[in-house]
Amino acid sequence: MIAKMKKLTFLIYYKEYEQFLENLRELGVVHIFTKSQGMAENMELQDSIRLAGKYAAAIKFLNGMGVVAENHDADASKGEETLNLLTDLQNRQQQLLHRKQAVEKEIATLEPWGDFEYSNIQRLKDAGYYVNFYICSEKQFKDEWVDLYNATIVNRIGSNIYFVTITSGCLAPELEIEYAKLPETSLNALRASVEQISQECDNVMDSIKKLAALSVGNLEAAQRKVYSEIEFSKVVLTGDSLADNKLVLLEGWVPAVKCDDVKSFMDNQGAYYEISDPQPDDNVPIMFNNDKFSRLFEPIIRLYMLPKYNELDLTPFFAPFFMIFFGLCLGDIGYGAFMVIATSIYRMVSKNLSSGIKPILTLVQILGASTMVCGLLTGTCFGFNIYDIQVPFLQSMKETIALDNQQMFNLSLILGGVQIIFGMILKAVNQTIQLGFKYAIGTIGWIFVILSTAIAFAGAMEMGGTVHLIFLAIGFLMAYLYNSPDKNVFVNIGLGLWDSYNMATGLLGDILSYVRLFALGLSGGILASVFNSLAAGMSPDNIIAGPIVMVLIFVIGHSINIFMNVLGAMVHPMRLTFVEFFKNSGYEGGGKEYAPFKK
């Protein structure tokens, strides 16, 4: 169900506008649609957005360090200090890495020449002898250089020759080969410099890890503060200036149950306000007001899109189907029991569970229970069939509720037909609520045609008999003559023919899509039995190693199977819900969630 909303209109004197917004944020119940006009030009807002991005990047970076954060009270005031310190450490780290890369490059240049002191080269220069370093290929090297320039080969690497010349009176011989420019330090000194830089890098990394352990909470608190300032600035820019910028007009939305709080607040503020009902073209925010069971499935509809304010919330209507479909897709008593027991143990041993995780755990327990119940239809438990056990109770259950593959196949199609017809009924209700009853007559006509044919096919009435023909006649007349009340009869007949084509092709395809409920359950059971066979067949004939190998294969195999089947049991019922059910129920969606303006 969607909670009733009221539209609020505020008129505030411009000097009191920001203080009014501060008070309104303290109230924390009014939803305000912020607009983008003026935001791009507001430099203060842009600075805040960039700052929030820096906090987000810093938090992501520190969380990626793999350090367990210590629990302590977060302080937003220390968050900015942490951000600045982290920025300095990261800059220092980058500088050290660049220095290290430069020194390692110099080491790579100097290594072919060996370790020597550059001061000796300088001493020779002071004595009038010039030492120059060259690199050439073996073909380029000339023997006369030995006599002319005292060329001395220092190293050979591959086809390259590294040699020096020692000349007196000329700085460097004019040789048409590569001249090597070497760093003015020794190889040992460069290697010692790399070790020192690496130690400094380790010290910086230790400081960063310390921040990751102690200061992530401070960063998150500071980030929340910046986000709050951003939202406040957006709301400030949302108001429309009137009366030569002396007054500011602001509109918002509040749940009808909170109207008394808003009235009391506004009476104390002394500003003009007006509370009215939403108009058909208003973009009203959505707040769900479902029962405890349906509330568990709200995250699923959020994955698709929220309903519009003036249409039905389909969450309570698809929730039972989703639960059954999940159970049929997984279809194993053991897997369902594992989900229930594992989730229950996690809830008992975990402390301080967040309010957001508790409903998810409850949903997992419900889906696990549904899997156990649906697993009783086939008797599958970790790939074994419990109905093969010759126990009177199990044999009695087998005779009472067990279904074979053909019956499971038929059950999937029946459930599909039921959900699609139910969706069409909801479509008629939705059309009646949004547009009026006359716009739902065409849909009701198709419901008569499909439902009467399904009942006749089931044997409850004679197929093609008088009663069936009466329902068909009424249904086709409604569908062909009144499917679009605003158009004339000939257009309605044409639209009815087009709807007939869509029904004949689309409806059959929609129902056949539900075969996946049977196919997934069957494939999961077969794969589980294969892992059981592998566990029994691949275990060695050894009193110690045999059971160990068997248990390992059993646990690993069923873990893989549970993961794959649970994933499929979530995705495919979602597909049936979002495509087949939502399409036939006329679901449009596109609503925006109610998000009150608050700290």
User: What are the structure tokens assigned to 25, written together?
Assistant: 């944020």
**Percent over 90 (pLDDT), the chain:** 17
Instruction: Report which listed range, 267-276, 385-394, 535-544, is most confident.
Output: 385-394
d(CA 381, CA 394): 13
In this structure, of 181-185, 474-478, 546-550, 594-598, the range with the lowest mean pLDDT score is 474-478
Q: Based on C-alpha coordinates, what's the Rg of the chain?
A: 38
User: What are the structure tokens assigned to 162, written together?
Assistant: 């590294």
Rounded to whole angstroms, the maximal C-alpha distance in the chain is 125
- Other Cβ atoms less than 10 A from the Cβ of 254: the count is 22
Residue 97: the pLDDT is 92
More confidently predicted of 71 and 408: 408
Q: Is residue 332 a contact partner of residue 558, using CB atoms and an 8 Å limit?
A: no
Which letter, b or e, does each residue of 447-478 get, where b requires 16 or more Cβ atoms within 10 Å of its Cβ?
bbbbbbbeebeeeebeeeeeebeebbeebbeb
pLDDT at 40 over 60: no
pLDDT at 39 over 60: no
- 551-560: long-range contacts at Cβ-Cβ below 8 A with a sequence spacing of 24 or more? 557/528, 557/530, 557/531, 557/532, 558/382, 558/383, 558/528, 558/531, 560/531
d(CA 349, CA 115): 63
Q: Which residue has the tokens 């568990």?
A: 296
Q: At 237, is the pLDDT very low, low, confident or very high (cuts 50, 70, 90)?
A: low
In this structure, of 28-32, 251-255, 476-480, the range with the lowest mean pLDDT score is 476-480
d(CA 110, CA 118): 11
Residues 374-395, mean pLDDT to the nearest whole number: 87
Residues 121-146, mean pLDDT to the nearest whole number: 89
pLDDT at 42 over 70: no
Which letter, b or e, does each residue of 418-446 get, where b requires 16 or more Cβ atoms within 10 Å of its Cβ?
ebbbbbbbbbbbbbbebeeeebbbbbbbb
Q: Please give the DSSP secondary-structure letter assigned to residue 180.
A: P
**Percent over 70 (pLDDT), the chain:** 91
Q: Taken in order 179, 181, 186, 192, is the CA torsion positive or negative? A: negative
pLDDT at 522 over 60: yes
Residues 76-89, mean pLDDT to the nearest whole number: 83
Q: At 245, is the pLDDT very low, low, confident or very high (cuts 50, 70, 90)?
A: low
Q: Please give the DSSP secondary-structure letter assigned to residue 395.
A: H
> Identity (one letter) of the amino acid at 505?
T
More confidently predicted of 238 and 440: 440
- Other Cβ atoms less than 10 A from the Cβ of 87: the count is 12
Residue 342: the pLDDT is 92
Q: How far apart are the first and last CA of the chain?
A: 27
Residue 38: the pLDDT is 46
> Identity (one letter) of the amino acid at 538?
M
Residue 403: the pLDDT is 87
d(CA 282, CA 340): 44
Residue 276: the pLDDT is 83
In this structure, of 51-65, 76-90, 261-275, the range with the lowest mean pLDDT score is 261-275
Residue 356: the pLDDT is 77
- Please name which of 252, 265, 281, 257 lies closest in space to residue 4, comparing C-alpha atoms: 257
- Please name which of 201, 202, 198, 208 lies closest in space to residue 67, comparing C-alpha atoms: 208
Alpha carbon of residue 183 to chain centroid: 52
Mind listing the pLDDT tens digit for each residue in 144-180? 899 888 999 999 998 899 999 998 876 778 888 899 8
Residues 177-201, mean pLDDT to the nearest whole number: 89
Residue 528: the pLDDT is 87
User: What are the structure tokens assigned to 291, written together?
Assistant: 């029962």
Total length of the chain: 599
d(CA 441, CA 432): 9
d(CA 112, CA 157): 8
In this structure, of 144-158, 167-181, 260-274, 582-596, the range with the lowest mean pLDDT score is 260-274
Residue 137: the pLDDT is 92
- Please name which of 34, 4, 592 lies closest in space to residue 283, comparing C-alpha atoms: 592
Q: At 136, is the pLDDT very low, low, confident or very high (cuts 50, 70, 90)?
A: very high
Residues 118-142, mean pLDDT to the nearest whole number: 89
In this structure, of 205-214, 223-232, 366-375, 579-588, the range with the lowest mean pLDDT score is 223-232
d(CA 493, CA 477): 9
> Identity (one letter) of the amino acid at 42?
N
pLDDT at 243 over 60: no
Mind listing the pLDDT tens digit for each residue in 424-477? 889 888 888 877 787 777 778 878 777 877 788 777 777 777 777 887 787 777
How many helices (H) does the chain have, and how many strands (E)? 22, 10
Alpha carbon of residue 34 to chain centroid: 25
**Averaged pLDDT score across all residues of the chain:** 83
Q: Is residue 426 a contact partner of residue 317, using CB atoms and an 8 Å limit?
A: yes
In this structure, of 29-38, 500-509, 528-537, 551-560, the range with the lowest mean pLDDT score is 29-38
